[in-house]
Chain A
Amino acid sequence: MPYALDHDFALAWLRATAAAVEQQHQRLTELDAAIGDGDHGTNLRRGFAAVLAVVDALPADTPPGELLSKAGSTLISKVGGASGPLYGSALRTAGRALPAPTADLTALAEGLRAGLTAVQKLGGATVGDKTMVDAFEPAVAALERAAFDGFSLREATALAAEAAEAGARATVPLEARKGRASYLGPRSVGHQDPGATSTALLFRALAEAAPR
């Protein structure tokens, strides 16, 4: 099956995410310092460094779902804070929902929808609360639409990345209702949410990793 999520694609996605986090960790931390406690970049950087060490050691025939669920478990074990359980559960749940040995676009969208549901169940956030869900939900919706419309994996993931980035930008005028930023009330307005920003990095990495 062409353009499917296989081991190489999943590994490339995790590597691209780790590289983006490495490159952007200071920006994430600065966004977090404005409305949180200033450790989002530091924490994700520590987590994805651990993820790379784990997934690089897995055999080459490891199904993509297992790669993602191992990555998720590693994030839960290494990150702490809110982002550890939230990102960890997202990837672990998505990974467990993916068929082996490969997943087509529809299955990938379903897996990520399951991951998003896990995030929402844990954190209780919906779109508009100024959290990672503001980027995650439109990205998954874009993937689902693209799968329905018959787009390629590459086109679909590019649309998802754009939707996530637009969702992250749209958090700027919002007042936070979840997480530590919610303690600031109206003072959280005017800042982009760090969690939505890192989620946009995750989906941009997915688009970059998608095979041509």
Chain B
Amino acid sequence: MKKLINTPETVLDDTLAGIAAAHPELTVDRAARVIHRAGAPRPGKVALISGGGSGHEPLHAGFVGPGMLDAACPGEVFTSPVPDQMLAAVRATDGGAGVVFVVKNYTGDVLNFELAAELAAEEGIEVRTVLVDDDVAVKDSTWTAGRRGTGATVVVEKVAGALAERGAGAREVASIGERANAASRSFAVALTAATVPAAGKPGFDLPADEIEVGVGIHGEPGRRREKLRPAHELVAEVVETVLAEHTLTPGDQVIALVNGLGGTPLHELYLVYGEVAARLAERGIAIARNLVGNYVTSLDMAGFSLTLTKADPELLELWDAPVATPALHWS
């Protein structure tokens, strides 16, 4: 394992030190392990809080700022944060209008955010939760943990953040987040496994000419393994897989996210985006907005995920609203 770390045990603390140094516009509470906007809380504003394991940067700390999150709670690498962190984030950002959690659908994240919501409720703070579950590699079934939350998290946090910025109530903010999630589907392909610092070696062995299809963002193997093929074949299959779980018809518009998993160069991501755009054009589906880059990563995993969000005028307007965070910013 070659990594720029001090010790596996101090990775999170050392990363927080770096975030604090790089972003004086954010407040990094290293003891509580919470990153929040400076000047919080803002009276009367719904606080949008998210979090999850570290190793997915820029998710979530990179999306803290005006127009998006009020606070982020980073857990240990690939491990959800603990309820104490979310409670500290709630206390730091609650402006009296309630709190909305954005939670990716993983058992650990769900349980810890649930416990945190109970603790906040005991303090008289109303918490609503938006569960993100966009990954079509996993069957949505009551007999399993259900679909995973992946790339759509960015879309959910962006539109819910924009609405919260305009002064909407907690119910409306949660509602638009749920709508963005319901309109989103994602699928990911890995070319290499991720190496968790504490484990010291890749999560799975992958021969040089093989790929894992249908991976999540925690280094776990995917749905199946197959030979690497030219990008146009692979991307065509990924697009078909996402569309098969969508209700998109010719004439529809989407927000398209071609997301790197951490170890893939941007040139490959643009190549993939070109293939995605061509496939969607064939289907008569227009890409209204796009993002190409590393937004929801899986440490050093090579590969990409595709997220398509069915767009409507309200979602597009919220998407276009100004945002000023380390990883997403436009005006």
A interface residue numbers (CB < 8 A to B): 29, 33, 35-39, 42-43, 46, 76-86, 122-123, 177-180, 182-185, 187
A180 touches B145 (CB 8 A): yes
Alpha-carbon distance between A183 and B143 when the two chains are bound, in angstroms: 11
Residues A76 and B199 in contact in the complex (CB < 8 Å), given A180-B218, A183-B138: no
A183 touches B145 (CB 8 A): yes
Q: Distance (Å) between the CB of A157 and the closest chain B CB?
A: 28
CB neighbours (8 Å) of A178 from chain B are 107, 144-145
Q: Distance (Å) between the CB of B264 and the closest chain A CB?
A: 20
List 8 A-B residue pairs with CB atoms under 8 Å apart, sorted by A's residue number: A29-B199, A33-B203, A37-B196, A76-B115, A81-B80, A178-B107, A183-B138, A187-B221
Quick one: which of B82, B115, B198 contacts A39, CB cutoff 8 A? B198
Q: Distance (Å) between the CB of A50 and the closest chain B CB?
A: 11
Chain B contact residues (Cβ within 8 angstroms of A): what range? 35 or more
Chain A interface mostly: helix
B interface residue numbers (CB < 8 A to A): 8, 53, 75-84, 106-108, 111-112, 114-115, 137-139, 143-145, 148, 196, 198-199, 203-204, 216, 218-221, 223-224
CB neighbours (8 Å) of A81 from chain B are 53, 75, 79-80, 108, 112
A33 touches B204 (CB 8 A): yes
Alpha-carbon distance between A142 and B300 when the two chains are bound, in angstroms: 45
Alpha-carbon distance between A123 and B114 when the two chains are bound, in angstroms: 11
CB neighbours (8 Å) of B224 from chain A are 187
Which of A38, A82, A85, A179 has most B Cβ within 10 Å?
A38
Quick one: which of A35, A43, A78, A180 contacts B106, CB cutoff 8 A? A180
Alpha-carbon distance between A38 and B205 when the two chains are bound, in angstroms: 13
A80 touches B220 (CB 8 A): no
CB neighbours (8 Å) of A78 from chain B are 82
Alpha-carbon distance between A42 and B11 when the two chains are bound, in angstroms: 13
CB neighbours (8 Å) of A180 from chain B are 106-108, 145, 216, 218, 220
Quick one: which of B76, B82, B83, B148 contacts A183, CB cutoff 8 A? B148
Residues A37 and B218 in contact in the complex (CB < 8 Å), given A42-B198, A76-B82: yes
A82 touches B107 (CB 8 A): yes
A37 touches B84 (CB 8 A): no
CB neighbours (8 Å) of B107 from chain A are 82, 123, 178-180
CB neighbours (8 Å) of B144 from chain A are 177-178, 182-183
Which of A80, A182, A184, A187 has most B Cβ within 10 Å?
A80
